[in-house]
Amino acid sequence: MDPAIKTDADHKLRDVERGGMKFIRERVLNGELMFGIGANLGSSLTVEMIGASGFDWIWIDCEHGTGDYSELIPQMQAASIGDAPPVVRIVWNEAPRFKRVLDLGATGVMIPWVNTAEEARQAAAAMRYPPDGIRGVARFNRACGFGQDFDKYFEKANQNLLTVVQIETEEGVNNAPEIAAVDGVDVLFIGPLDLSVSLGIPQQFENPKFLSAMDSVSAACKENSKAAGILVPNMDYLEKWIANGFTFLVVGSDGGAVASGLKSMASTCGKFKKH
């Protein structure tokens, strides 16, 4: 399907038609360019700002971000106000961690450090209710409108929720074709810093070895009708990496935006100081 024929209104209607939650899995698997911003400050205020800024999704980081589950609840509530549904990165590929964030209303989960097809199958199972998976069933949680939307949510959850596995090691790249073939895995998402370190070329994102790894992941996704994703270290890479087949992208973070903005203002002010 050509995503260009869909209007913004079409997307928003489809995203919210099931219960009160917004879902993006269909758009991601259709190959639409999906731009997200990382929320790593643990702040509901910055999540609210991101949701009002025109991005397609919010990446709430519970692995390296400063917030924990106590901060996640208000962040999820803030995300509900805007038009950018939240995908939450959990700390590790352990089933209990999926249940918490899914029950709070995540539209998807990002799982770090997935290196094998078996690990990918574990993640896909944790995302889904039986008989397709092992997710525990609860009626009175936020995702289900505290029981008000349970039947509607339960009926479609296994089809609506987005599963994003991170490729962050050379082993993960080598196993990318098998990982992409796992039913229920939707996105193979490169963590560029971890991957470059694993390849022995830290932060060398234009090194032929790194580019070859990117190509391998992108090809595996294309072969299996999955989406390729990546965190963009700076905007200079954006156009090139989109051309390489990456469509599910994190293009910055709230922490990075605040830090760079403050530094820029301080630099401008510094020009007026007397020496």
Could you tell me the end-to-end alpha-carbon distance of the chain, in angstroms, rounded to an integer?
A: 61
CB neighbour list of residue 177: distance below 8 Å, 6 or more residues apart: 220, 223, 224
**Cα 132 off chain centre by:** 22
Encoded tokens for 100: 């918490």
How far apart are the C-alpha atoms of 216 and 223, rounded to whole Å?
A: 11
* CA dihedral (84, 165, 223, 204) positive or negative: positive
Contact 12, 95 (CB under 8 A): no
If phi > 0 it is left, if psi is from -120 to 50 it is alpha, else beta; for residue 126 that is alpha
Contact 37, 255 (CB under 8 A): no
The one catalytic residue among 12, 64, 209, 263: 64
CB atoms within 10 A of CB 148: 13
For 44, the 3-state DSSP assignment is: helix
64 is catalytic: yes
Residue 189 Cα distances to 39, 69, 160, 265, angstroms: 17, 23, 19, 34
Contact 248, 189 (CB under 8 A): yes
Contact 111, 166 (CB under 8 A): yes
Q: Which residues are catalytic?
A: 64
